[in-house]
Amino acid sequence: MQSGNDQGIAMMFSLVALVILSTLTLSFLNLSSTAVETTETIIKRAQSQAEAEGAIHIAIFHLVNNEFPTELYGNNHKYQVEVGNRKIEVAVNNACGRWDINEGDLKILDALLTELGSAEHADFIEGIKKARTMPSGFQSTNQILSIPGLQAEIKQRLMNEITLQCRSDAVDKVSASFTLKRAIKKNRDSYNKFPPQRIYRIAASNSKGPGTYFSINAYIEVLENRERPFKIIDWKVN
C-alpha cells in the first residue's frame, strides 16, 4: 500500500514537473518569437530612416545642380525620388515662404497677426523686439509661446507661418501660405522685397510597416562654391 502511495506521489511530482517544464518552454518560445519580431522591426526602422535620408540627399543633389524646374519651387512642391527600388516623395520649398522670426519685417508680422484673428498684439510685438536684442536672438520658434500679449490659439497658428532659417526681412511670395500672402499685400514696401533664392526646406517621410515611420525636415543653403556646393543649416528626424 505504501509502495502504491509512493508511486502516486512520484507520478504527481512528475506531472507537476512536466507542466512547469512545458510552461517554461512555451514562455521561451514566445520570448524568442518576440525577440525575432523586435529584431526585424529594428532592421526595418534603420532601413526606413536610411531611405528617407537618402531621398533628402538626392533632392539636395538636384538643387545644387539646378535640376528642379523653376516653376516647381512653389508652395508644397512634391517631387518623387528613387532610393534603391523604392520611390519616396520629397517636398521642396523656399525657406523664405515663412516669416523669419529673427530678421522678418515687423510690419508683416503685424499684418499677419491680424489675418490670424488677433485684434490687439502690440505687447507681443514688443516682446519679439526685446528678444531680438538678446545676443543669441531666437534659437527656436517655440520661444514665441512664452512671449505674453497674444492668445495661445493664435500663437499655435503663428507657429505654422514662421521660421528661423530664411535669414531675410522679406518673404517669398510664391512659397508663402495664403494667409501670409494676404498679410504681405497690405504693405507695398514689404511686397516689393525679395528674399534670397538659395535656402530651401526639404521634407521626406518613409515607413516600412508598423513602428518604422520616420520623417525628416532639413534646411539647406545652396552655395556658389564648387568644393562645397551646399551647407546643411538644420536637420531634424522625427
Taking CA atoms, 108 is separated from 99, 105, 127, 153, 166, in Å, by: 8, 5, 16, 19, 14
Is the pLDDT at 106 greater than 90, yes or no? Answer: yes
Model's pTM, two decimal places? 0.70
Predicted confidence at residue 18, as pLDDT, reads 47
CA distance 150 to 103: 20
pLDDT digit string (tens) for 4-57? 445 544 544 454 454 444 544 545 455 555 665 677 888 888 888 988 999 999
- For residues 156 and 154, what is the distance between their CA atoms, to the nearest angstrom? 5
- pLDDT tens-digit series, residues 110-169: 999 999 999 999 999 999 999 999 998 999 999 999 999 999 999 999 999 999 999 899
**How do residues 196-207 score in pLDDT, each as one tens digit?**
778 998 999 999
